[in-house]
């Protein structure tokens, strides 16, 4: 059973993002270890987790004015659509396809964490420390959005 790589090198330095990554890794491992009877439910649980985590990231990106939000969010939408197709495969007993999707999802998630989530984390850490991120647009954010982001980053 392959697992997501976890080390300090892949820590985002933001506990809420690190917890989300750990939860995703646990649920993906559960999919890997699931027998045929349990696989559809394990896949659905992973799908629900991914949808919730991606929604949170979108809120953080919108609230912080993250300049790379559209590319990041597009990846989330595409992956969620593929995962939903996996749920259909699972419900129809096509479990080999779901297992292959899980392997591909693991590979995608590792790359996504390095190329999309890590820059988002740097951006959020910069905002939390009062510095302007290179990924932040130059315009001033409305006070209400900035306050919501500040509360989320605590």
Token code pair at residue 135: 């990924």
Every domain of the chain and the residues it spans: 14-153
Residue 64 near residue 53 (C-beta atoms within 8 A): no
- Angle at CA of residue 83, ends 107 and 35, nearest 5°: 80
User: What residue ranges of the chain have pLDDT lower than 70?
Assistant: 1-10, 131-154
Q: How does pLDDT run across 125-151, given as a tens digit for each residue? A: 998 877 655 454 434 344 444 444 445
**Both structure tokens of 56:** 């949170």
Distances (CA, A) of 130 to 14, 27, 72, 124: 15, 35, 23, 10
Chain mean pLDDT for the chain: 84
Percent of the chain with pLDDT over 70: 78
pLDDT, position 138: 38
Report the distance separating Cα 39 and Cα 153, nearest Å. Answer: 35
CATH of 14-153 given 1.20.120, 1.25.40, 3.30.70, 1.10.3470: 1.20.120
Q: What is the pTM of this model?
A: 0.79
| pLDDT one-digit tens code per residue, 88-98 | 999 999 999 99
């Amino acid at each position: 059973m392959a697992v997501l790589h976890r080390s300090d090198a892949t820590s985002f330095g933001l506990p809420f993002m690190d917890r989300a990554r750990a939860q995703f890794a646990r649920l993906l491992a559960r999919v890997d270890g699931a027998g045929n009877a349990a696989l559809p439910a394990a896949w659905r649980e992973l799908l629900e987790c991914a949808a919730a985590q991606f929604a949170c990231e979108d809120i953080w990106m919108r609230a912080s004015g993250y300049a790379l939000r559209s590319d990041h969010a597009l990846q989330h939408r595409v992956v969620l659509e593929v995962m939903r197709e996996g749920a259909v495969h699972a419900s129809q007993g096509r479990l080999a396809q779901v297992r292959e999707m899980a392997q591909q999802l693991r590979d995608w998630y590792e790359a996504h964490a390095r190329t999309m989530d890590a820059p988002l984390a740097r951006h959020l850490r910069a905002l939390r420390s009062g510095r302007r991120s290179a990924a932040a647009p130059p315009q001033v954010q409305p006070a209400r959005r900035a306050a919501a982001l500040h509360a989320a980053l605590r």
